[in-house]
Copies of this chain bind each other. A is one copy, B any other.
Amino acid sequence: MNKSDRHAVILRLVREREIATQDELAQALHELGYEVVQTTVSRDITELGLVKVRGAGGRLVYAPAAG
Protein backbone atom coordinates (compact mmCIF):
# COMPACT_ATOMS: atom_id res chain seq x y z
CA MET A 1 0.00 0.00 0.00
CA ASN A 2 0.84 3.65 -0.01
CA LYS A 3 2.13 3.40 -3.46
CA SER A 4 1.88 7.10 -4.14
CA ASP A 5 3.79 7.91 -0.96
CA ARG A 6 6.43 5.44 -1.99
CA HIS A 7 6.61 6.95 -5.44
CA ALA A 8 7.29 10.37 -3.97
CA VAL A 9 10.00 8.93 -1.75
CA ILE A 10 11.60 7.20 -4.70
CA LEU A 11 11.75 10.44 -6.65
CA ARG A 12 13.38 12.13 -3.71
CA LEU A 13 15.87 9.31 -3.23
CA VAL A 14 17.06 9.25 -6.83
CA ARG A 15 17.55 12.99 -6.73
CA GLU A 16 19.48 12.93 -3.47
CA ARG A 17 21.69 9.91 -4.02
CA GLU A 18 23.16 8.01 -6.92
CA ILE A 19 21.18 4.78 -6.92
CA ALA A 20 22.48 2.24 -9.38
CA THR A 21 20.32 -0.83 -8.89
CA GLN A 22 16.77 -1.75 -8.00
CA ASP A 23 17.99 -3.77 -5.04
CA GLU A 24 19.82 -0.69 -3.81
CA LEU A 25 16.65 1.34 -4.14
CA ALA A 26 14.62 -1.34 -2.37
CA GLN A 27 17.13 -1.29 0.48
CA ALA A 28 16.98 2.51 0.74
CA LEU A 29 13.20 2.22 0.94
CA HIS A 30 13.51 -0.36 3.69
CA GLU A 31 15.51 2.10 5.76
CA LEU A 32 12.58 4.49 5.44
CA GLY A 33 10.07 1.83 6.45
CA TYR A 34 8.82 0.80 3.02
CA GLU A 35 9.10 -2.97 2.87
CA VAL A 36 9.16 -3.66 -0.81
CA VAL A 37 11.12 -6.00 -2.95
CA GLN A 38 12.86 -5.68 -6.31
CA THR A 39 9.78 -6.70 -8.28
CA THR A 40 7.78 -3.81 -6.89
CA VAL A 41 10.59 -1.33 -7.33
CA SER A 42 10.81 -2.38 -10.96
CA ARG A 43 7.13 -1.54 -11.42
CA ASP A 44 7.50 1.74 -9.58
CA ILE A 45 10.34 2.70 -11.88
CA THR A 46 8.23 2.01 -14.93
CA GLU A 47 5.27 3.91 -13.51
CA LEU A 48 7.43 6.90 -12.65
CA GLY A 49 9.11 6.75 -16.03
CA LEU A 50 12.57 6.73 -14.50
CA VAL A 51 15.59 6.15 -16.70
CA LYS A 52 19.22 5.33 -16.08
CA VAL A 53 21.65 8.09 -16.87
CA ARG A 54 25.42 8.36 -16.60
CA GLY A 55 26.41 9.52 -13.15
CA ALA A 56 29.87 10.32 -11.90
CA GLY A 57 32.42 8.11 -13.61
CA GLY A 58 29.99 7.02 -16.28
CA ARG A 59 28.14 4.79 -13.88
CA LEU A 60 24.49 4.22 -14.72
CA VAL A 61 22.15 5.59 -12.07
CA TYR A 62 18.43 6.12 -11.87
CA ALA A 63 16.97 9.54 -12.58
CA PRO A 64 13.62 11.13 -13.37
CA ALA A 65 12.86 11.23 -17.08
CA ALA A 66 12.97 15.02 -17.09
CA GLY A 67 16.12 16.19 -15.37
Interface positions of A (Cβ within 8 A of B): 46, 49, 51-54, 58, 60, 65
| Complex partner residue of A53 from B51, B54, B60, CB under 8 angstroms | B51
Chain B minimum-CB-distance residue to A46 = B58
A58 & B51 in contact (Cβ 8 Å cutoff): no
Q: How many copies does the complex hold?
A: 2
> Which residues from B are CB-within-8-Å of A54?
49, 51, 65
A49 CA to B54 CA, complexed, in Å: 7
| Complex partner residue of A65 from B46, B49, B53, B65, CB under 8 angstroms | B53
A27 CA to B51 CA, complexed, in Å: 24
A52 & B51 in contact (Cβ 8 Å cutoff): yes
